[in-house]
C-alpha cells in the first residue's frame, strides 16, 4: 500500500457534493444524487494535498459487517497507522478509494470489496446495502472525509481481523457494545444511533 505522501485517493469537491451547504450527521435520502455525483464528478488527488483541506471530501466506503444480530466491533491498537484514532472503537471498517479500484468499472463497490478483503479474513457470502452517507465536521479526521455507510450481511460468523497488531475485533450485539459507545469514533456513534433507531436528524453546518 502506498504511503500517505504518494497515495492518490478519490475525492469530490465539497461544493459539488453539498451544493446547498454541508449538513452534519447521517442522511439516507437522495442517495441516488450523491452516488451520481461521486461516480461522475469525482477525481483522484494526492492524499498529502487533501488530508487537511476540507475543500475536498475524500470518499470512504464504510463497511458495517453483520451476521444475524451481531455486528463486528473493532478497536484500533497502538500500532495503528492512524494516530488520531488510536484506541478508539469502530463499528465499521473502511478506507480510501485508489486508482486501482477503477479496474472493474465501479470505484465505490470495488473499493469496498478491496478494503474489506484487506481488513478481514472472510470466506462466507456477503450482501452489501447502502445505508446512507455520513458527514461529520467535528474532528480534523472526519472533516475531510465523506463516508458511504454500507451494511454488509454475512452468511457466516467466521470473520477474523487480518492485521492483528493494528486492530482487534469481535462480533457483538448492539446492546452488548453499548458500553463502548463513548469510546467509539464519531462515524460509529452516528451509525450506531441509526441502527438502534435513535433519531439524530442531520443539521446544517459548514460552508458548501
3-state secondary structure labels for all residues of 42-90:
CEEEEHHHHCCCCCEEEEEEEEEEEECCEEEEEEECCCCCCHHHCCCEE
The residue range of the domain holding 159 is 8-197
Give the domain CATH number at 170: 3.90.79.10
H helices present in the chain, as ranges: 14-17, 31-41, 47-50, 107-119, 140-143, 186-195
What is the pLDDT at residue 90? 93
Specify if 208 maps to a domain. Answer: no
Contact 88, 102 (CB under 8 A): no
Specify if 2 maps to a domain. Answer: no
Contact 80, 86 (CB under 8 A): yes
53 pLDDT higher than 50: yes
For 68-77, 101-110, 196-205, which range has the lowest pLDDT when averaged over its residues?
Answer: 196-205
Q: How many domains does the chain have?
A: 1
What distance lies between CA 14 and its chain's CA centroid? 17
For 42-46, 131-135, 141-145, 173-177, which range has the lowest pLDDT when averaged over its residues?
Answer: 141-145
Query: pTM for the complete prediction?
Result: 0.86
Task: For residues 5 and 66, give the distance between their C-alpha atoms in angstroms, rounded to a whole number.
Answer: 34
What is the pLDDT at residue 198? 75
Q: pLDDT band for position 5 (50/70/90)? A: low
Give Cβ neighbours of residue 50 (< 8 Å, ≥ 6 apart): 9, 11, 56, 58, 144
Specify if 3 maps to a domain. Answer: no
Distances (CA, A) of 121 to 114, 163, 181: 12, 10, 25
Dump pLDDT digits (tens) for 152-177: 999 999 999 998 988 899 999 999 99
Specify if 203 maps to a domain. Answer: no
Higher pLDDT, 204 or 46: 46
Amino acid at each position: 500500500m502506498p504511503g500517505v505522501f504518494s497515495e492518490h485517493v478519490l475525492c469530490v469537491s465539497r461544493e459539488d457534493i453539498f451544493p446547498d451547504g454541508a449538513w452534519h450527521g447521517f442522511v439516507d435520502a437522495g442517495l441516488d444524487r450523491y452516488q451520481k455525483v461521486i461516480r461522475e464528478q469525482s477525481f483522484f488527488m494526492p492524499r498529502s494535498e487533501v488530508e487537511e483541506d476540507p475543500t475536498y471530501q475524500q470518499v470512504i466506503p464504510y463497511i458495517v459487517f453483520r451476521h444475524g444480530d451481531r455486528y463486528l466491533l473493532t478497536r484500533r491498537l497502538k500500532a495503528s497507522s492512524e494516530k488520531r484514532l488510536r484506541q478508539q472503537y469502530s463499528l465499521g471498517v473502511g478506507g480510501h478509494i485508489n486508482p486501482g479500484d477503477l479496474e472493474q468499472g465501479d470505484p465505490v463497490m470495488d473499493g469496498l470489496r478491496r478494503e474489506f478483503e484487506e481488513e478481514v479474513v472472510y470466506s462466507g457470502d456477503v450482501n452489501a446495502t447502502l445505508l446512507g452517507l455520513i458527514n461529520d465536521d467535528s474532528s480534523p479526521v472526519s472533516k475531510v472525509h465523506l463516508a458511504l455507510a454500507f451494511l454488509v450481511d454475512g452468511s457466516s460468523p467466521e470473520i477474523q481481523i487480518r492485521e492483528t497488531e493494528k486492530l482487534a475485533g469481535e462480533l457483538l450485539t448492539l446492546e452488548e457494545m453499548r458500553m463502548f459507545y463513548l469510546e467509539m469514533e464519531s462515524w460509529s456513534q452516528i451509525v450506531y444511533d441509526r441502527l438502534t433507531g435513535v433519531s439524530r436528524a442531520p443539521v446544517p453546518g459548514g460552508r458548501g
